[in-house]
Amino acid sequence: MDKEQSSFAKSVQGKDVRLYTLSNENGIRATITNYGARLVSLFVPDFKGDTFDVSIGFDDIDGYLHSTQPYYGATIGRFANRIAEGKFTIDGVEYQVLPNNGNNALHGGENGFQSVVWDLEFVNCAAVKLSYHSKDLEEGFPGNLKVTVTFELTSDDALRISYNASTDKTTVVNLTNHAYFNLNGESAGPVLNHVVQINADKYTPINPSSIPFGPLAEVKGTPFDFTQPLTIGGRIEEKHEQLENGKGYDHNYVLDSHDPQEAVATIIGDQTQIKMEVFTDQPGLQFYTGNFMNSTNIMKGRHNDDFRTAFCMETQHFPDSPNQPSYPTTLLKPGEIFQSFTSYRFSINK
Ligand code: BGC
């Protein structure tokens, strides 16, 4: 076991936690831990051929166990994003997830999928498959849910994350990965000069506790318009009620209808020219600019997790879908299989 691996070898909740390395034929390398089915690091070359770790995280398992921000790189479930007051009703029965974010439930409740130890199966040197059995009423959600998440480095330099879930009772499911990216390298400071394009004409406006309300909003003519490539920081301080409610960008974009082979978003690191394209079959994308990063944790490279030093592109269903009948459904019934994918593909901006 090398040093990197031994710093993740620990028994947690009576199960073995480990670090696994994936690599592809072009030298892209990712490390994954089964604590939270989590991306720990992702090494990608820049335009000079130097390699940068573009994923924020910790050097060792204790960093993740004690972090004040629990979601770095993790698989998020059973329900990514917020559920208003943690309450929802299925077939006339009300369920309650205990609020862990003000009055609302965030990312599946206090002990969501980020904080459990997954079983891991090594597929090949470029892929691992993790599985978890979330029990009936765990965190308040109905149904025994069997979930698998596969991380794969593809030959076209993408990290492809595929989800699969089934239940024995009707439930709600919304799965994503919460990688925090900095395409200039994980300790390179604020991401405000990264250039972002998101193929979405609309987003879901939020109230001050980040629950969506009202009709979908048009991005046109607002600081939310990323239909053309623009920097993250260019308009983030503008006076706009939605930027105030999100403390910056922390909003679900309603993705234009698209083929899963078409990128839904493209981000470029201004210093490295590393380009990341996002692909998904999901209807939404939470664009989050690290507005709640507050320097309390010491990360890889011995730097703190300072304000806006990373961004997230969380592909997903819309927030609070269980309570918003006009949104695409997040119900999963017995006999159905939930499947989705997110792919982050890397290249050099030319
Ligand atoms: C949410 C943020 C939250 C963050 C926590 C994001 O998905 O939208 O509001 O602070 O997760 O890591």
Q: Phi/psi of residue 215, each to 5°?
A: -70, 160
Delimit the domains of the chain by residue range.
Answer: 3-348
Helix, strand, coil percentages in the chain from 3-state DSSP, rounded to 5 = 10, 40, 50
Q: What is the band of 301 on the pLDDT scale with cuts at 50, 70, 90?
A: confident
Alpha carbon nearest to ligand 1 atom 5, residue: 71
Q: What is the band of 199 on the pLDDT scale with cuts at 50, 70, 90?
A: very high
**Average pLDDT for 179-189:** 97
24: nearest Cα among 183, 158, 149: 158
Taking the CA of residue 292 as reference, the ligand 1 atom at the shortest distance is 10
pLDDT tens column, 116-166:
999 999 989 999 999 999 999 999 999 999 999 999 999 999 999 999 999
Q: Tell me the three state secondary structure of residue 339.
A: strand
Q: Tell me the three state secondary structure of residue 271.
A: coil
Q: What is the band of 320 on the pLDDT scale with cuts at 50, 70, 90?
A: very high
- Residue 233 CA to residue 100 CA, distance in Å, equals 29
Q: What is the band of 98 on the pLDDT scale with cuts at 50, 70, 90?
A: very high
Quote the pTM value: 0.97
| pLDDT confidence of residue 117 | 98
| pLDDT confidence of residue 279 | 98
**Average pLDDT for 234-247:** 98
- Residue 51 CA to residue 265 CA, distance in Å, equals 23
| pLDDT confidence of residue 309 | 98
- Decide whether any atom of ligand 1 lies within 6 Å of the 314 Cβ: yes
Looking at the predicted structure, is the pLDDT value of residue 1 above 80? Answer: no
105: nearest Cα among 131, 129, 77: 77
Of all residues in the chain, the percent with pLDDT exceeding 90 is 97
- Decide whether any atom of ligand 1 lies within 6 Å of the 272 Cβ: no
Compute the mean pLDDT over every residue in the chain, rounded to the nearest whole number.
97
Looking at the predicted structure, is the pLDDT value of residue 281 above 80? Answer: yes
- Residue 84 CA to ligand 1 center (angstroms) comes to 15
pLDDT tens column, 72-89:
999 999 999 999 999 999
- Residue 288 CA to ligand 1 center (angstroms) comes to 7
**Average pLDDT for 260-274:** 97
pLDDT tens column, 42-62:
999 999 999 999 999 999 999
Q: Which CATH number fits domain 3-348: 3.40.190.10, 1.20.120.10, 2.70.98.10, 3.40.50.2300?
A: 2.70.98.10
- Residue 246 CA to ligand 1 center (angstroms) comes to 10
Which residues, in sequence order, are CB contacts of 141 under 8 Å at separation 6+? Answer: 78, 79, 95, 97, 108, 134, 171, 172
Q: What is the band of 3 on the pLDDT scale with cuts at 50, 70, 90?
A: confident
- Decide whether any atom of ligand 1 lies within 6 Å of the 320 Cβ: no
